[in-house]
Amino acid sequence: MIELQGIYKVYDDGHEALKDIHLTFEDGDINVIIGPSGCGKTTTMKLINRLIQPSKGNILIDGKDTSTLSSVELRRSIGYVIQSVGLFPHMTIAQNVGVVPKLLKWEKHRIDERTDELLQLVGLEPDTYRHRFPSELSGGQQQRIGVIRALAAEPSIILVDEPFSALDPISREQLQDELINLQKTIKKTIVFVTHDMDEALKIADNIVLMKDGEVVQQGSPENILRHPANEFVESFIGEKRLRQANNMSTVQDVMRKNPVRASDKRGLAEAMKMMERKQVDTLLIVDKSDELEGYVTIYDVLGHFREEKKKLADIVKPFEHIVKLDTPLTEAIQLMNDYNLPYIPVTNDKEVLQGLVTRGSIVGHIGELYPPEEQGVL
């Protein structure tokens, strides 16, 4: 457990980076510190790590004031993964992973065994990777080495400072999953810094939101989503996510934009061609100002096909149910359930077609809200 008690940090130039910080990070949790650039996240990490000293206040690790710990004790108990990976380019992967154990004067065979064990833990075959240099690894692989290097001396605390921010979205998702899985096995106290709310909500047991050197709110992701402390937190979470969390999504959040539409002036052969081209069995029919008139199915078109003079305007059928942009999603779902509708059109106040809520778009929206728990590669 880590405790920060009344921490202030004033840099030499007089900049007050942290003001009266009180925080507790429990064992076994992934604690995420999040906030805009310059709010004091890295400063907090460096203080825990004793790379810099607080101007005022105490930091305790498992009840012991860190100012009383020797640098060897600190290195043993804390692993640090930094923003830029920071692997030593002229050292092999094995040498990189073994840096802290070597400093702690572990015997060579113990370091070798530990290195192989850790490489296997993140799915990198030791025989293949042990003797490679960092430049011979992909960005995601380098970041994995950064993580296992921090784990090497079996610290009880792991500090990670924006480790995945330079990675492409897919490697990033994968490493997040791996970290969650890894934590299930190792159960360390993890403090993880990010400025990405999606990342925080995905991995955190406990979120600390910071602004201008102060803690604005601390709590579980669920609690922060449901009870944001103020407007800053709300804006940081984002309006859309808040509405989703509170089940307040509107059809506008969910609808498919640009549904296939046809002008009521078109003939039936044209309509057939269009359905074929767009691979749909229904067309939404609009007038010249894009106001929604109704729909026409492939059966309607086939039924009147011999009547050459007929336009879509002559056979269009009105919708029984139409929703507005600000209709709550729950209401639209209710309608679709009650009347067994495959979809509902969305119009604005002037009856102009805006989109379509389909069963697929609702499933997609719910998927966004509750990402699947993917298994990592561990």
Ligand X SMILES: Nc1ncnc2c1ncn2[C@@H]1O[C@H](COP(=O)(O)OP(=O)(O)O)[C@@H](O)[C@H]1O
Which member of 15, 240, 265, 273 binds ligand X (CB under 6 A)? 15
Choose the contact partner of 13 out of ligand X, Mg ion, none; CB within 5 to 8 A by kind.
Answer: ligand X
Which member of 4, 29, 34, 41 binds ligand X (CB under 6 A)? 41
Residue 38 lies near ligand X (rule: CB under 6 A)? yes
Note whether 200 and 32 are within 8 A (CB).
Answer: yes
Shortest Å, Cβ 153 to ligand X:
25
Which of 84/247 has CB closer to ligand X?
Answer: 84
Among 351, 350, 357, 353, which Cα is nearest to 336's? 357
Residue 371 lies near ligand X (rule: CB under 6 A)? no
Which residues ranging from 42 to 61 are in contact with ligand X (CB under 6 A)?
42-43
Residue 160 lies near ligand X (rule: CB under 6 A)? no
Site string for ligand X, 337-366 (x = CB under 6 A): ------------------------------
Which of 11/339 has CB closer to ligand X?
Answer: 11
Buried b (16+ CB within 10 A) or exposed e, 30-59: bbbbbbeeebbbbbbbbbbbbeeebeebeb
119-126 contacts, C-beta under 8 A, 24 or more apart? 119/93, 119/148, 121/148, 121/182, 121/378, 122/147, 122/148, 122/178, 122/182, 122/378, 123/377, 123/378, 124/93
Shortest Å, Cβ 107 to Mg ion:
36
Which of 40/146 has CB closer to ligand X?
Answer: 40
Which member of 33, 40, 42, 293 binds Mg ion (CB under 5 A)? 42
Choose the contact partner of 15 out of ligand X, Mg ion, none; CB within 5 to 8 A by kind.
Answer: ligand X
Which of 17/150 has CB closer to ligand X?
Answer: 17
Shortest Å, Cβ 259 to ligand X:
44
Which of 37/258 has CB closer to ligand X?
Answer: 37
- Interhelix angle 329-338/359-369, rounded to 10 degrees, is 140
- Interhelix angle 139-151/169-186, rounded to 10 degrees, is 20
Which member of 37, 135, 185, 337 binds ligand X (CB under 6 A)? 37
Cα Rg for the chain, rounded, in angstroms?
29
User: What's the residue count for the chain?
Assistant: 378
- Interhelix angle 108-121/139-151, rounded to 10 degrees, is 130
Task: Tell me how far apart the alpha carbons of residues 239 and 86 are, in angstroms, rounded to a whole number.
Answer: 36
Residue 39 lies near ligand X (rule: CB under 6 A)? yes
Shortest Å, Cβ 133 to ligand X:
29
Which member of 4, 7, 17, 296 binds ligand X (CB under 6 A)? 17
Choose the contact partner of 225 out of Mg ion, ligand X, none; CB within 5 to 8 A by kind.
Answer: none
**Run of H or E including 2:** strand 2-10
Note whether 139 and 171 are within 8 A (CB).
Answer: yes
Among 157, 152, 11, 151, which Cα is nearest to 78's? 157
* Secondary structure letter of residue 311 according to DSSP: B
Which of 47/286 has CB closer to ligand X?
Answer: 47
Shortest Å, Cβ 43 to ligand X:
3
Size of the site for ligand X (CB under 6 A): 12
Shortest Å, Cβ 57 to ligand X:
16
Amino acid at 204: A
Two tokens at 185?
């096995």
Size of the site for Mg ion (CB under 5 A): 2
Choose the contact partner of 17 out of ligand X, Mg ion, none; CB within 5 to 8 A by kind.
Answer: ligand X
Which residues ranging from 80 to 99 are in contact with ligand X (CB under 6 A)?
none
Which of 83/282 has CB closer to ligand X?
Answer: 83
Q: Which single residue is written with the structure tokens 């792991």?
A: 158
Which of 59/245 has CB closer to ligand X?
Answer: 59
Three-state SS for 15-69 is CEEEEEEEEEECCCCEEEEECCCCCCHHHHHHHHCCCCCCCEEEEEECCEEHHHC
Shortest Å, Cβ 61 to ligand X:
20
**Run of H or E including 256:** strand 256-257
Residue ranges binding ligand X (CB under 6 A):
11, 13, 15, 17, 35, 37-43
